[in-house]
């Protein structure tokens, strides 16, 4: 069965079967990783940085890019 044929048949399935397929597809997409203390520390550091470090608005970023592009090499 081709992907197109499968896609055409999906709406014909019961809600339960559609949910089962959704769960199976979701399970294929999950990338597992080991939750180590180093990973958790890195996540915490990223959150702290996002909360405390200065950030730029979209307009500021656009202005910086424009200035970089106009600088002579």
Q: Which domain holds residue 27?
A: 3-70
pTM over 0.75: no
Supply 2's token pair: 């081709």
Tally of domains within the chain: 1
Supply 47's token pair: 């959150």
* Segment 11-70, tens digit of pLDDT: 999 999 999 999 999 888 867 778 899 999 999 999 999 999 999 999 999 999 999 998
Supply 33's token pair: 């990783």
* Per-residue pLDDT at 20: 95
* Per-residue pLDDT at 1: 86
Cα separation of 17 and 10, whole Å?
9
Taken as a whole, the chain contains a residue count of 73
């Amino acid at each position: 069965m081709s992907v197109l044929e499968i896609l055409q048949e999906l709406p014909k399935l019961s809600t339960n079967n559609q949910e089962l397929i959704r769960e199976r597809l979701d399970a294929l997409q999950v990338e597992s990783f080991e939750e180590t203390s180093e990973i958790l520390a890195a996540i915490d550091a990223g959150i702290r940085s996002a909360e405390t470090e200065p950030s730029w608005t979209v307009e500021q970023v656009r202005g910086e890019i424009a200035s970089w592009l106009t600088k002579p090499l």
